[in-house]
Structure 1
Amino acid sequence: MTTVTLLSGGAAQGLVRGLAEAFKAQTGAGIDGEFGAVGIMADKLRAGTAADLVILTQALLAKLAEEKLVVPSSITDVGRVETALAVRSRDPKVTVKTETDLRDVLRSADAIYVPDTKASTAGQHVTKVLDQLGIAYEVASRLKIFPNGATAMRELANSTATRPIGCTQATEIIATDGIVLSGSLPPGCELVTMYTAGVTVRAAHPKEAAALIALLTDADHRELRQSAGFAG
């Protein structure tokens, strides 16, 4: 059986998983690949890791096209994803409407679960927000940093801390059992990222890769995208 391989930001993992059966029924092909921090996935492609398509941030796809690693005409927007807060399913949701609210919530947490603060979109943003709020040094020892948002959220679900909280892409929160989406970041601290797909120049299965991109982005699957955390 033909298998389409991809390198993707963790934000798209739930959506890709949700479309695997439909893709197999349509093309007879399976899906395999890696999901992780977008910067690391882009560097894997640059280093020669085999992949038929990539799903990364719009900015990264543009760079990879300039580097002649992605076919420019294949690039298609999948949808926007917000960086949001998460709590364990058994814990009360937090209400964060202002920067002051967010500062208080983060200060009161005894563990803060986040993805890679250097290579992931959400992790980089967390670092920026902590600096903006003036509490980066204060909460540094409570940061629990993991290679990607999916891992960070699984660890949050299993946390034995008293008042843990997580911050990553909403799609990764929604896709993880044992935690719930607690709310958006407040005005001034928000981040909404457009995720985009493209066929790689070295794709072994470019036709099937294009078919997967079409499936990920078509109007018939708008509700699935929304339920997975993507906005149009």
Structure 2
Amino acid sequence: MNSLKILSGGAVQGLVASLAAKFTALTGLAISGEFGAVGAMAGKLRDGAAADIVVLTAAMIADLVRENLVAAASVADIGVVETAIAIRAGDRPVPVHDADALRAAFLAADAIFVPDTKASTAGIHVARILKQLGIADQAASRLKVFPNGATAMRNLAQSTAARPIGCTQSTEIINTAGVALSGSLPRECGLSTVYTAAVAAQALDPDRAQVLIDLLTAADAAELRMRAGFLEVRK
């Protein structure tokens, strides 16, 4: 079976998977490509990687529009994703209701599983928050950094540490077996990210790329988006 090629942030992988069968039924195509840190995915597109559809943060998609790498007319917001704390399934939830509680949670953990702190949305934010909380140096030896949030969460699920936690986007936590969502970061430390889709300027199949965008953003997919961890974008 031929496939539609996607370059996407990992936050959207679970939602795409939930719509893959419907997309195939409508188009006869499978979905292939890569999901990972948004910076890395944008870099691949800029380096000439083949793609029909691109799903990244709204800010990155806006940059790619200006660079003529995605079609401006196709741009559509999917939803908002919050950055959150993860625990192993079965572990006691970690309170993170305010900055003091979040600081205590990081300091109590003997392993902190996070995505790339230079290329991923959540990883960059974690590094910033640790500095904001004044514990970057104390936490440095406990950080377990992985290329993307999904990989970080899979490793958290398998961790043998006594008190491990993770921090990445809520969608990646919800869609990884063996971990559980403990809570979103407190307002003063939080990050809510809009994820946006667009057809790549060099797409080989722009029409069917638009079909996938329509499925991802359709009103009747609102419940699927919610279950995957997306909040509605406030206009």
TM range (shorter): over 0.9
| Aligned match of 2:49 | 49
2:50 is the alignment partner of 1:40 = no
TM-score, normalization: structure 2?
0.98
| Aligned match of 1:187 | 187
Amino acid in the other structure paired with 1:115:
P
Query: How is 1:79-98 mapped onto 2 (pairs within 5 angstroms)?
Result: 79-98=79-98
Root mean square deviation, CA, Å? 0.5
Amino acid in the other structure paired with 1:205:
D
2:216 is the alignment partner of 1:216 = yes
Tell me how far apart the structure 2 counterparts of residues 29 and 86 of structure 1 sit (CA, whole Å).
34
Tell me how far apart the structure 1 counterparts of residues 62 and 142 of structure 2 sit (CA, whole Å).
35
SS at match of 1:84: strand
2:43 is the alignment partner of 1:65 = no
* Residue correspondences, number: 232
Amino acid in the other structure paired with 1:157:
A
Amino acid in the other structure paired with 2:130:
L
Amino acid in the other structure paired with 2:65:
A
Query: How is 1:10-25 mapped onto 2 (pairs within 5 angstroms)?
Result: 10-25=10-25
- 5+ residue gaps, structure 2, are none
Residue 2 of structure 1 and its aligned partner are, at CA, apart by: 3.2
Query: How is 1:1-232 mapped onto 2 (pairs within 5 angstroms)?
Result: 1-232=1-232
Identity fraction in percent: 60
Amino acid in the other structure paired with 1:180:
A
SS at match of 1:59: helix
Residue 28 of structure 1 and its aligned partner are, at CA, apart by: 1.3
Residue 166 of structure 1 and its aligned partner are, at CA, apart by: 0.2
Tell me how far apart the structure 2 counterparts of residues 89 and 140 of structure 1 sit (CA, whole Å).
24
Greater Cα offset, 88-97 or 106-115: 88-97
Tell me how far apart the structure 1 counterparts of residues 7 and 96 of structure 2 sit (CA, whole Å).
33
Amino acid in the other structure paired with 2:143:
L
SS at match of 1:94: coil
Tell me how far apart the structure 1 counterparts of residues 156 and 164 of structure 2 sit (CA, whole Å).
7
TM-score, normalization: structure 1?
0.99
Residue 103 of structure 1 and its aligned partner are, at CA, apart by: 0.4
Amino acid in the other structure paired with 1:201:
A
Residue 29 of structure 1 and its aligned partner are, at CA, apart by: 1.3
Instruction: State the Cα deviation string for residues 162-210 of structure 1 (Å, max 9, x = none).
Output: 0000000000000000000000101210000000000001000100000
Tell me how far apart the structure 2 counterparts of residues 147 and 2 of structure 1 sit (CA, whole Å).
28
Tell me how far apart the structure 1 counterparts of residues 33 and 54 of structure 2 sit (CA, whole Å).
10
Greater Cα offset, 163-172 or 24-33: 24-33
SS at match of 1:92: coil
Q: Which runs of 4+ in 1 moved over 4 A?
A: none
Tell me how far apart the structure 2 counterparts of residues 101 and 95 of structure 1 sit (CA, whole Å).
6
Tell me how far apart the structure 2 counterparts of residues 3 and 220 of structure 1 sit (CA, whole Å).
24
Tell me how far apart the structure 1 counterparts of residues 19 and 187 of structure 2 sit (CA, whole Å).
33
Amino acid in the other structure paired with 1:202:
Q
Tell me how far apart the structure 2 counterparts of residues 11 and 86 of structure 1 sit (CA, whole Å).
14
Tell me how far apart the structure 2 counterparts of residues 26 and 205 of structure 1 sit (CA, whole Å).
14
